[in-house]
């Protein structure tokens, strides 16, 4: 027994020594020292002075960042959560995250509408039929197209030099309570984005021009749980146009605060949206033309009938905000 007790004590002491030697604040992602190297001005929104002329078909990456589809090669399976996600490289050697399945279409559209309103986003494009050399069998069934390709694949990337730093919380961030942050919350309700969990929010470091101060951009990176109906685990839907057009948006005003028919994660943040804040984001979005809104849905690969239906519902929701 004494030998057993001594061995047990030695094992505990060894483990404790390892813990004490482990760098403070170490995590599987980045140390505090690493994060300090990417300090910058927090940014979540920037005035979209060109909102009426923004190209919502090509989105924030424009023509310049479109993937080279001459050859797309599988690199790694990075699947987490609902959708199949793969790291791939295009014909020019640029790295992308390819998302397959039901979330690819609504995420492509949602990102464009959020970007049009001035919020920070990544860059994405939808490829109607993508051929990915060396791809494994997807972990779940996805729709296929001719030549052993994959239907409606979303390609997402970031400009060179942009680094992913950390997650941010809906409850605590540098923008809580501001008009711009409340406007983002309204945007999530307008899109019926029920999946508002912290792991879908990322902070990116964007280096400054010519060595100047950089930015910490706060981005909602996963917008796939949109254009369906909000609700709990068994009632919400994604990429369901017929559900989206049937749901309500604004249900009324009480004591100067807007009530939304939103049933999803972190729904409480919508309880503090004032009429003025809702009108503000509605006013911004009202500067988009019908053609621009339809272009966003065309970019998402929706049929002409779905484009008309979905764009009409988005316009109706914008009108609800400006009429408050």
pLDDT in tens, 15-49: 444 444 434 334 444 555 555 578 899 999 999 99
Q: Mean of the per-residue pLDDT values for the chain?
A: 90
Give exposure, 186-198, as e/b (b: 16+ Cβ within 10 Å): bbbbbbbbbbbbe
Instruction: Report which DSSP code applies to 228.
Output: S
Rounded CA separation 114/281 (Å): 11
Give the pLDDT score at 34: 57
Q: What is the mean pLDDT of residues 137-164?
A: 94
Give the pLDDT score at 211: 77
Q: Is the pLDDT of residue 8 over 80?
A: no
Give the pLDDT score at 196: 96
Give the pLDDT score at 39: 86
Q: Is the pLDDT of residue 111 over 60?
A: yes
Rounded CA separation 136/118 (Å): 38
Q: What is the mean pLDDT of residues 129-156?
A: 96
Rounded CA separation 156/153 (Å): 10
Give the pLDDT score at 32: 53
Reported pTM: 0.88
Rounded CA separation 292/232 (Å): 32
Give the pLDDT score at 26: 40
Contacts with 99 (C-beta within 8 Å, 6 or more apart), sequence order: 83, 84, 85, 107, 153, 154, 156, 224
% of the chain residues with pLDDT over 70 = 89
Q: What is the mean pLDDT of residues 58-64?
A: 97
Q: Is the pLDDT of residue 203 over 90?
A: yes
Rounded CA separation 297/110 (Å): 9
Measured at the CA of 139, the angle between CA 133 and CA 140, to 5 degrees, comes to 110
Query: Tokens standing for 50?
Result: 């060109």
Q: Is the pLDDT of residue 195 over 70?
A: yes
pLDDT in tens, 228-277: 999 998 999 999 999 999 999 999 999 999 999 999 999 999 999 999 99
Give the pLDDT score at 212: 80
Rounded CA separation 147/141 (Å): 17
Give the pLDDT score at 15: 47
Give the pLDDT score at 35: 56
Query: Tokens standing for 141?
Result: 């069934």
Q: Pick the range with the lowest mean pLDDT from 16-20, 65-69, 106-110, 183-187.
A: 16-20
SS3 117: coil
Give the pLDDT score at 83: 94
Q: Is the pLDDT of residue 103 over 50?
A: yes
Query: Tokens standing for 105?
Result: 């279409």
Q: Pick the range with the lowest mean pLDDT from 5-9, 171-175, 290-294.
A: 5-9
Rounded CA separation 158/277 (Å): 30
% of the chain residues with pLDDT over 90 = 82
Which residue would you say has higher pLDDT here, 229 or 211? 229
Report the relative pairing of strands 201-206 and 215-220 from DSSP bridges.
antiparallel
Rounded CA separation 114/217 (Å): 14
pLDDT in tens, 160-193: 889 999 999 999 999 999 999 999 999 999 999 9
Contact present, 182 and 272 (Cβ < 8 Å):
yes
Give the pLDDT score at 9: 43
Give the pLDDT score at 247: 97
């Amino acid at each position: 027994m004494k030998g057993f007790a001594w061995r047990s004590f030695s094992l505990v002491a060894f483990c404790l020594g390892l813990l004490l030697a482990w760098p403070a604040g170490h995590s599987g992602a980045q140390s505090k020292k690493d994060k300090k190297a990417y300090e910058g001005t927090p940014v979540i929104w920037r005035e979209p002075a060109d909102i009426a002329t923004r190209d919502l078909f090509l989105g924030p990456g424009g023509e310049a960042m479109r993937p080279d589809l001459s050859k797309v090669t599988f690199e790694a399976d990075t699947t987490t959560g609902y959708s199949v996600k793969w790291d791939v490289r295009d014909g020019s050697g640029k790295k992308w995250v390819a998302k397959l399945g039901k979330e690819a279409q609504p995420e492509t559209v949602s990102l464009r509408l959020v970007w049009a309103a001035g919020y920070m986003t990544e860059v994405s494009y939808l490829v109607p039929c993508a051929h990915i050399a060396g791809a494994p069998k997807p972990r779940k069934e996805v729709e296929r197209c001719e030549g052993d390709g994959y239907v409606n694949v979303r390609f997402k990337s970031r400009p060179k030099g942009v680094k992913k730093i950390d997650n941010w919380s809906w409850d605590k961030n540098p923008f809580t309570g501001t008009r711009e942050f409340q406007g983002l919350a309204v945007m999530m309700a307008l899109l019926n984005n029920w999946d508002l969990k912290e792991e879908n929010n990322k902070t990116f470091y964007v280096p400054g021009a010519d060595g100047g101060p950089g930015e910490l951009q706060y981005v909602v990176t996963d917008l796939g749980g949109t254009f369906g109906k909000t609700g709990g685990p068994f009632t919400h839907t994604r990429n369901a146009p017929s559900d989206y057009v049937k749901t309500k948006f604004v249900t009324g005003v009480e004591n100067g605060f807007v009530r939304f028919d939103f049933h999803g994660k972190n729904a409480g943040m919508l309880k503090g949206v004032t009429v003025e804040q809702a009108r503000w984001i509605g006013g911004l979005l009202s500067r988009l033309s019908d053609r621009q809104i339809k272009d966003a849905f065309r970019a998402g690969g929706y049929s002409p009938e779905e484009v008309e239906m979905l764009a009409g519902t988005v316009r109706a929701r914008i009108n609800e905000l400006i009429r408050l």
